[in-house]
A and B are shown apart, each in its own frame.
Chain A
Amino acid sequence: GQQVMQIPQYQHVQEGEDFTTYCNSSTTLSNIQWYKQRPGGHPVFLIQLVKSGEVKKQKRLTFQFGEAKKNSSLHITATQTTDVGTYFCAGPGGTSYGKLTFGQGTILTVHP
């Protein structure tokens, strides 16, 4: 069935360094979503990408959807301590219509 793989599992950076997490699917995705979960909190929607090759920016965050719509990435420029948390990608998956399948998440730690 549909699998969404996310790497790396953990990333430790110094404040000011860049960070990237990658999401790969075994099948073509109609769209992909990204969520952020702060420590002790719940996942919060960040963005959805739909078009092949799409690039969207939110301040220091850049989201990309691959040309083949099988992979995606989230890049954070000049990380800040407020970026700490777990970043999840999610795509349609499984046999149930509308079901989202989440990647395992990347836990980002930012050292001041």
Chain B
Amino acid sequence: GAGVSQSPSNKVTEKGKDVELRCDPISGHTALYWYRQSLGQGLEFLIYFQGNSAPDKSGLPSDRFSAERTGGSVSTLTIQRTQQEDSAVYLCASSFLPRGGRTDTQYFGPGTRLTVL
């Protein structure tokens, strides 16, 4: 299909509620990443799904954050008991798995803008 898609594009929620953000990677891409970007800031790595290997969860900021990738395709990022500091744009990216030690080009989705009131 086209590129990486994410839904919803915007999400407004109340503090304490749970939210689910969805990412549809490019077909055939076995690597999937989630990043968080606060206004005017850089990319904060959250989690990396690398094919069939265990995901790299080293960037998840707290145990309120979790992510899964079903069937090696669609991924869902869940934030439980949202806090105001969770407000940010959540970006998903996908790529082919690298070969020979090289990383591959990441293709980013448009992001989900999360606002926690």
Stretch in B11-19, B20-28, B71-79, B94-102 touching the partner: B94-102
A42 and B104 contacting across the interface, CB-CB below 8 Å: no
> Per-residue 0/1 for B32-57: is the Cβ within 8 Å of any A Cβ (1 yes, 0 no)?
01010000101101001010010010
B103 within 8 A of A: yes
A92 and B108 contacting across the interface, CB-CB below 8 Å: no
Q: Interface on chain B toward A: helix, strand, loop, or mixed SS?
A: loop
Q: Which residues of A contact B48 (CB under 8 A)?
A: 96, 99
Complex CA–CA separation, A86 to B106 (angstroms): 16
> Among B58, B102, B109, B111, which residue has its beta carbon within 8 angstroms of that of A31?
B102
From residue 101 to 117 of chain B, which have CB atoms closer than 8 A to chain A?
A: 101-111
Q: Which residues of B contact A88 (CB under 8 A)?
A: 42-43
| Nearest-neighbor residue (CB-CB) of A104 within chain B | B42
Q: Which residues of A contact B104 (CB under 8 A)?
A: 98
Most chain-B Cβ atoms within 10 A of its Cβ — which of A48, A99, A101?
A99
> Per-residue 0/1 for A2-26: is the Cβ within 8 Å of any B Cβ (1 yes, 0 no)?
0000000000000000000000000
> Per-residue 0/1 for B72-98: is the Cβ within 8 Å of any A Cβ (1 yes, 0 no)?
000000000000000000010101011
A102 and B43 contacting across the interface, CB-CB below 8 Å: yes
B42 and A31 contacting across the interface, CB-CB below 8 Å: no
Q: Which residues of B contact A31 (CB under 8 A)?
A: 102-103
B42 and A42 contacting across the interface, CB-CB below 8 Å: no
B105 and A105 contacting across the interface, CB-CB below 8 Å: no
B105 and A33 contacting across the interface, CB-CB below 8 Å: yes
From residue 87 to 112 of chain A, which have CB atoms closer than 8 A to chain B?
A: 88, 90-92, 94-105, 107
A contact residues vs B (CB 8 Å cutoff): 30-31, 33, 35, 41-45, 48, 50, 86, 88, 90-92, 94-105, 107
